[in-house]
Amino acid sequence: MKVTGMLVRNKIKRNHRFGTHGNASYLCTMQILDGKKAAQAIKDDLKIDVAQMVIEGKKAPHLVAILVGNNGASETYVASKVKACEEVGFKSTLIRFEETVYKIRLLEEIEKLNNDPDVDGILVQLPLPKHISNEDVINAIHPDKDVDGFHPVNAGKMMQGLPAFVPATPFGIMLLLKHYKIETNGKHAVVIGRSNIVGRPVSILLSSNSNPGNCTVTICHSHTQNLKEICFEADIIVAALGKPETVTADMVKDGAVVIDVGITRVPDATKKSGFRLKGDVHYEMVAPKCSWITPVPGGVGPMTIAALLKNTFYSCTTKN
Ligand code: GUN
């Protein structure tokens, strides 16, 4: 195909951006942190490892997911986790409970799974109905089977840099940075969000003495007064606040690495599902300023699942 000068220029415009630094002008290239691709590489490796285990007569890793009620997003997440298990040769079991289930019934089931030697990982999909305390349920899972890394024993070990199950989304983010060899050493990372699932653990991992890691980390949250100014200082932004398109171009400095953890369903009548997914970052505005950025979907989401599989594999191979 004959490529005209105009076409070439348009192509360059899409992926490149001219900027200035002091007196020098430079060409900055925006690249995608493709979570789908990186997750596939992890799953391919796991598939080989599991096949080898089975050849050696060992049992395949077994993940049990518990789903309470029928929250649409949770249904989708759990289905993706079960499918990913099948892809790599893990055994998976989905246990469903009605929205109205008593907490005691849930705890009984968890206790049974804790004592079942065939089960390597137990995952209770959050959020739970209001009448059930997340904390009570998380604390009931044996720390050795807590592949979500939410149990205080695992959270404490992770904070001390000891071997532990690391929550899947923060772990997935670290694996993504590693896959794309993103330089984090000495960089200023700004984490927006302080949840136990993402914000807090990812801030610990990014600041830990490791590669990726060794960042100077600032944690921002709903009470942060000058979010825009703080974000503008960041070399790396992790947006995990759960509010769509909060991070706008004026908050991001040229060449920043932007990790978008948000995945909110917003109504969209043009879609068959009736919704589309939006990240916490205004992608169209922000992407041209970045050196690297995660898309939504296809960024952090697939990495979360890959990380969960790695945790389950680790549980199985360190126990048996
Ligand atoms: N809800 C949102 N993220 C997660 C997760 O990583 N694990 C579980 N169990 N529930 C979630």
| Whether residue 107 is found in the same domain as residue 205 | no
Render pLDDT for 66-125 as a digit per residue (tens, 0 to 9). Answer: 999 999 999 999 999 999 999 999 999 999 999 999 999 999 999 999 999 999 999 999
What was the pLDDT predicted at 320? 53
Domain assignment present for residue 191? The answer is: yes
Give the closest residue (by CA) to ligand 1 atom 4.
126
pLDDT at res. 319: 76
Ligand 1 and 122: CB distance under 6 A: no
- pLDDT (tens digit, 0 to 9) for every residue of the chain, 320 residues total? 333 333 333 333 344 555 444 444 445 689 999 999 999 999 999 999 999 999 999 999 999 999 999 999 999 999 999 999 999 999 999 999 999 999 999 999 999 999 999 999 999 999 999 999 999 999 999 999 999 999 999 999 999 999 999 999 999 999 999 999 999 999 999 999 999 999 999 999 999 999 999 999 999 999 999 999 999 999 999 999 999 999 999 999 999 999 999 999 999 999 999 999 999 999 999 999 999 999 999 999 999 999 999 999 999 999 75
192 and 280 in a common domain? yes
Atom of ligand 1 nearest to the CA of 123: 9
- 119 and 205: one domain? no
Atom of ligand 1 nearest to the CA of 148: 7
* 13 within a domain of the structure (yes/no): no
Considering the domain architecture, whether residues 76 and 120 belong to the same structural domain is answered as: yes
Tally of structural domains, the chain: 2
The rounded Å distance from CA 161 to ligand 1 centre is 22
Q: What is the 3-state secondary structure (H, E, C) of 125-138?
A: CCCCCCCCCHHHHH
* Whether residues 179 and 254 fall in one domain: yes
Q: Which domain range does residue 272 map to?
A: 168-300
Q: Are residues 128 and 238 in the same domain?
A: no
34 domain residue, yes or no: no
pLDDT at 24: 43
- Check whether residue 182 and residue 273 sit in a common domain: yes
Within this chain, do residues 138 and 173 fall inside the same structural domain, yes or no? no
Q: What is the pTM of this model?
A: 0.92
For tokens 């769509």, name the residue: 244
Atom of ligand 1 nearest to the CA of 304: 6
List the CATH number of the domain containing 254.
Answer: 3.40.50.720
Please indicate, yes or no, whether residues 178 and 236 belong to a single structural domain of this protein: yes
Residue 50 in domain: no
Residue 107 lies in a domain: yes
Please indicate, yes or no, if residue 157 is contained in any of the structural domains. no
pLDDT, position 28 = 63
Domain boundary among 142, 176, 196: 142
**Residue 19 confidence (pLDDT):** 46
CATH number at residue 86: 3.40.50.10860
Residue 15 within any structural domain of the chain: no
Residue nearest to atom 9 of ligand 1 (CA): 125
> Would residue 317 count as lying in a domain?
no
One domain for residues 118 and 224: no
